[in-house]
Amino acid sequence: MKQIIVLFMILATSTSVLAQTPLVAGDNCFGTGDYVCAQLKYQEAMKIATGRDKQIAEIKYSRAKSCDDWLTAANIAFNNGDYQTAKENYQSVLNENLNDPYAQTQLEKCNNAIRDGIKLSVSRENMTFSRIGGNETIIVTTNAESYSISQIPSWCTVRKYSDYFVIYYSANSDITTRNGSFKITADNKEVDLYVTQPKKSNTTLSVSPKEIFTNANESVAIINVNTNSSDYKITDLPYWCRVKSKHASWFSLEYNTNYSRSLRSGRFKVIAGDKEIKIYVNQSASTQSSTSTVKNEKKKRIKRRLRKFSSLGFQSGEIAKYGLLYETGGRKTFGFRLSVRTSQTPKEIFDTEFLGNKTEMELGPNIKILQRLYLNLGGGYGFYKKIISIDNEGAILIQDTGCFVGTTGLMIRVSPLLNINVGLSFQDIDKDFYDPEITFGISFNLRKKTRY
């Protein structure tokens, strides 16, 4: 009996010692979430263990170190208000140690903070759809990772994208108005989008005539309107037509005289409720009996075209023969002009210090003197080739020299289409007034800039 008691005490003592081995102690620390303690214990086990036990200690040490790193990163992010990053790191800890009480508590705090900070809005919360069907795009603004759409009406379908969704809806052929709503959800936030689609239209509308023909002289036409709507409107009239008077069942349309030699046509709309009808109007060309009237109208048009212009053309000079010219103005006293000229003179014989080869750009105002006469002034910059030296063998050293340029001249508007320019170009005006270069130019008015 005494031997059995001694053996039992030896076994108990051995079990107690085994329970206190570094590997078991590390597991105890790991289970309570004390990863610093766990790392120290696993390091002790790695020093004394061999073979498979050492490998197990190394693996457990790596797990404890990872949890410690995740926990440190999570705490830093949590203190900085970056709850999403903190949540991800706390979750990584729990993936390794599901029973870590601290990580569980902190993860719940992160979830609460994220839910409280979620923002959600849509570009529109109330919409009226077209009765004939179509689609509408709704922009979604949220700081959540994603959003969802629910409670979609049966007569609608939705195509969802990352930051917007498109609603496709069918035509309403019912005699009642459709109403519906969409619920947009992001985490714990919700927004409702209410939609309405009008019922099938009961409006009736007819007009007579639907196409009108009139002569070239100023005249009036009567259009009859039949509708059950309380009112109607007339829109998109051609510039040469106007409503003279409007009544419940008819209106009168007045036309300006057509002075041109060609037929002119147009169309406009009569709208009542959601119904609309297009009416076409045609006016014949001017006849021979109104030739004098046509001529007067042409003169008026030419004067109007001379008021304002924008032109593009060519300009040439005695030295710089190749150039472009742009001008605009006419409506006010001052306009604007720009010219660029250059030359391509071959290097043959240079008799003076200033060679026949230069490039210059100048800009400035044009000043209206008369309706067809303008004074041009300008300044700019250019460069020319200058002889530096000539050696005994006749070799020439040439240098490009910059210079300031001044110009003046006249522009004559020969016709609404064509302009002629003559002028003088002075080189090196900051040094002296040398003999000017004579320039000549022709420019053509840009018709789409011309005012009729």
Q: Give me the DSSP letters along 222-254.
A: EEEEEESSS--EEE---TTEEEEEE-SSEEEEE
Residue 307 has pLDDT above 80, yes or no: no
pLDDT given at position 355: 52
pLDDT given at position 293: 57
pLDDT given at position 352: 45
Confidence of residue 124 (pLDDT cuts 50, 70, 90): very high
CB atoms within 10 A of CB 323: 20
Instruction: Give span(s): CATH 2.40.160.20, the chain.
Output: 305-449
**Rounded alpha-carbon distances, angstroms, from residue 256 to 216, 244, 259, 270:** 8, 12, 9, 20
For the CA atoms of 89, 95, 100, 102, the dihedral, rounded to the nearest 10 degrees, stands at 20
DSSP 3-state of 228 = coil
- Identify the sign of the CA torsion 373, 375, 380, 385: positive
In the chain, the N- to C-terminal Cα span, in Å, equals 131
Distance CA(244)–CA(21), nearest Å, equals 108
Q: Strands of 148-150's sheet, edge to edge?
A: 126-128, 189-197, 178-186, 148-150
Query: Which percentage of the chain shows pLDDT scores above 90?
Result: 35
Report the greatest alpha carbon distance in the chain: 150
336 within 8 A of 363, measured Cβ to Cβ: yes
DSSP 3-state of 359 = strand
Confidence of residue 81 (pLDDT cuts 50, 70, 90): confident
pLDDT given at position 18: 42
CATH architecture for segment(s) 207-283: Sandwich (2.60)
60 within 8 A of 26, measured Cβ to Cβ: yes
pLDDT given at position 170: 93
- Look up the CATH number of domain 305-449: 2.40.160.20
Q: Strands of 233-235's sheet, edge to edge?
A: 211-214, 275-283, 264-272, 233-235
pLDDT given at position 217: 83
281 within 8 A of 266, measured Cβ to Cβ: yes
Distance CA(418)–CA(408), nearest Å, equals 20
Query: Which percentage of the chain shows pLDDT scores above 70?
Result: 84
Residue 63 has pLDDT above 50, yes or no: yes
Confidence of residue 19 (pLDDT cuts 50, 70, 90): very low
pLDDT digits (tens, 9 = 90+) for 202-258: 788 999 999 999 888 878 899 999 998 889 999 999 999 999 999 999 999 999 988
Instruction: Give span(s): CATH 1.25.40, the chain.
Output: 21-117
The mean of the pLDDT values for the chain is 83
Q: What is the pTM of this model?
A: 0.34
Please name the residue that has the structure tokens 């170009």.
425
**pLDDT average, residue stretch 408-435:** 84
pLDDT given at position 309: 80
DSSP 3-state of 121 = strand
Confidence of residue 446 (pLDDT cuts 50, 70, 90): confident
**pLDDT average, residue stretch 269-293:** 80
CATH architecture for segment(s) 21-117: Alpha Horseshoe (1.25)
395 φ, ψ (degrees, to nearest 5): -70, 135
Residue 11 has pLDDT above 50, yes or no: no
pLDDT digits (tens, 9 = 90+) for 146-157: 999 999 999 999
Distance CA(283)–CA(219), nearest Å, equals 10
CB atoms within 10 A of CB 206: 13
Strand runs (DSSP E) across 284-320, as ranges?
309-317
- Look up the CATH number of domain 120-197: 2.60.40.10
pLDDT digits (tens, 9 = 90+) for 395-420: 666 677 788 888 999 989 888 788 99
Instruction: Give span(s): CATH 2.60.40.10, the chain.
Output: 120-197, 207-283
- On the question of a cis peptide bond just before residue 365, with omega within 30 degrees of 0, the verdict is no
Residue 14 has pLDDT above 60, yes or no: no
Bridge partners of 265, per DSSP, are 282
Percent composition of the chain: helix, strand, coil (DSSP 3-state, to 5): 30, 40, 30
pLDDT digits (tens, 9 = 90+) for 337-381: 899 998 876 555 444 444 567 788 999 998 888 878 899 999 898
